[in-house]
Chain A
């Protein structure tokens, strides 16, 4: 059965505290951090971007399992922050893991669910027999306008899944999507920062789609929330996924291991896949994982996943790459001035 044959995540070292961002804008940082359920967010180093994050995540996945790069027939990278407007991120990832030239590649954009859209495409190609394996990446150096609510959470990071048929560490039992035209968040061509509909991003956007896709999945599979060991929901902040889980009947114990956002921030296209990686870091054979992503615009992809015995076999070495916890623990806190420099907010002469 088609499934995840390996996975890897990458989070840059640098962090800024939400309180520090609030200090600059004269806001109450303690209140904002508590309200969002986010206390720190990751930011890139000066020489990191979505391409370098995607490559590091893909290489972590390759390190955990002996995959012949020639078997990788497709590379897809979902992101809102591809460094080039025209020239794919995915080709650099393919080249850097040695999968070129006999492969197809493309970049995806669907706000925060572009990574899981890449997973679905990869599943289709693998299931149809068009390719042996495919790499699906969700990564971002998320943008948020200085002083805007998004700036408190927009973070950097990503994860890669290698999708294949042979001995998956986790079988993907089913995937389904719930999609409508909902203008809750967008970024126009050539604009550096996205705009959003404030409270509109909640009820008719995030919750409608996350709950819609999740209910479809539970109905299709004939399952109930208690049938799953873990659940991962798109995590733009700590509050939304917790509420969505509660509305669906999932417990805090089920979602906590995959709730990376608290000390990472919202990695946009990487968010739900980093959450899934955190769960795979601790999952045991037989564990069942429920995952629903969300991308503004809007849509949600839901996944029903069962971890197999292969995760503990000689075919797979979980310790060959850092866990999400390891990546979160290796951090350097910076102030707003350094953050502004790292995020390219300091204008220099060319």
Chain B
């Protein structure tokens, strides 16, 4: 990923900045340009998610490549945030402890790096709450 491309989404990744449609009340992460329900009638405003939620489903990754090679085995999960939006994320926990419905909270972790001399990318992952 290019440095500029990551930097543009930095606030979303660091601080779970998404958005909400104030007309229908739906929350979005990652943020959307317009509300898919209200469409042109929707009004989108920025929203910082609390960072707590629960596991909707998960998969245990045992074979990976690149930045993720040394992390195996790890849990890739779909998390439903308390406000309602869902995201796919790395869930940092013992692989034999994860379960559907497990409460989780955000943590700040390294997401990857461009080799030993390139930029390091940081952002949000989740751990058991």
Interface residue ranges, A against B (CB under 8 Å): 45-49, 51-52, 55-56, 59, 83-84, 92, 95-96, 98, 332, 341, 346, 348, 350
- A52 partner, pick from B69, B70, B71, B122, beta carbons under 8 A: B122
CA distance A346 to B109 in the complex (A): 20
Nearest B-chain residue to A344, judged by Cβ: B70
Nearest A-chain residue to B72, judged by Cβ: A46
CA distance A46 to B125 in the complex (A): 13
Question: Which chain B residues lie closer than 8 Å to A341 at the CB level?
Answer: 70
Quick check: A47 and B109 within 8 Å, CB to CB? yes
- A96 partner, pick from B94, B108, B120, beta carbons under 8 A: B108
- B120 partner, pick from A45, A84, A346, beta carbons under 8 A: A84
Known: A350-B115, A350-B116. A52 touches B108 (CB 8 A): yes
Quick check: B92 and A47 within 8 Å, CB to CB? yes
Q: Using a Cβ–Cβ cut-off of 8 Å, how many residues does chain B contribute to the interface with A?
A: 20
B110: Cβ under 8 A from any A Cβ? yes
CB A93 to nearest CB in B, in angstroms, measures 9
Question: Which chain B residues lie closer than 8 Å to A46 at the CB level?
Answer: 70-71
Nearest A-chain residue to B69, judged by Cβ: A348
Quick check: B122 and A45 within 8 Å, CB to CB? no
Chain B interface helix/strand/loop/mixed: mixed
Nearest A-chain residue to B106, judged by Cβ: A59
CA distance A55 to B109 in the complex (A): 9
Quick check: B94 and A332 within 8 Å, CB to CB? yes
Known: A47-B125, A92-B122. A52 touches B10 (CB 8 A): no
Known: A52-B108, A56-B108. A83 touches B120 (CB 8 A): yes
Quick check: B92 and A59 within 8 Å, CB to CB? no
Quick check: B110 and A48 within 8 Å, CB to CB? yes
Question: Using an 8 Å CB-CB cutoff, how does the interface string of B56-91 with A read, 1 for contact, 0 for none?
Answer: 000000000000011100000000000000000010
B14: Cβ under 8 A from any A Cβ? yes
CA distance A95 to B17 in the complex (A): 12
CB B14 to nearest CB in A, in angstroms, measures 5
Quick check: B14 and A49 within 8 Å, CB to CB? no
Question: Which chain A residues lie closer than 8 Å to B11 at the CB level?
Answer: 95
Contacting A at CB under 8 A, from B14-64, are 14-15
CA distance A45 to B107 in the complex (A): 12
Question: Which chain B residues lie closer than 8 Å to A48 at the CB level?
Answer: 109-110
Quick check: A96 and B116 within 8 Å, CB to CB? no
Quick check: A52 and B110 within 8 Å, CB to CB? yes
B95: Cβ under 8 A from any A Cβ? no
Question: Which chain B residues lie closer than 8 Å to A96 at the CB level?
Answer: 14-15, 108, 122
Quick check: B15 and A47 within 8 Å, CB to CB? no
Question: Which chain A residues lie closer than 8 Å to B122 at the CB level?
Answer: 51-52, 55, 92, 96
CB A237 to nearest CB in B, in angstroms, measures 29
Question: Which chain A residues lie closer than 8 Å to B108 at the CB level?
Answer: 52, 55-56, 59, 96
B100: Cβ under 8 A from any A Cβ? no
CB A99 to nearest CB in B, in angstroms, measures 11
Contacting A at CB under 8 A, from B101-119, are 107-111, 115-116
Q: List 14 A-B contacts (CB under 8 A).
A: A46-B71, A47-B110, A49-B110, A49-B120, A51-B110, A51-B120, A52-B107, A52-B122, A92-B14, A95-B11, A96-B15, A96-B108, A341-B70, A350-B116
Known: A92-B122, A350-B115. 12 other contacts (CB 8 A): A47-B71, A47-B92, A47-B110, A49-B110, A49-B120, A55-B108, A59-B108, A92-B14, A95-B11, A95-B14, A96-B108, A98-B15
Question: Which chain B residues lie closer than 8 Å to A59 at the CB level?
Answer: 108
CB B13 to nearest CB in A, in angstroms, measures 10
Question: Which chain B residues lie closer than 8 Å to A350 at the CB level?
Answer: 115-116
CA distance A52 to B120 in the complex (A): 11
Question: Which chain B residues lie closer than 8 Å to A56 at the CB level?
Answer: 107-108
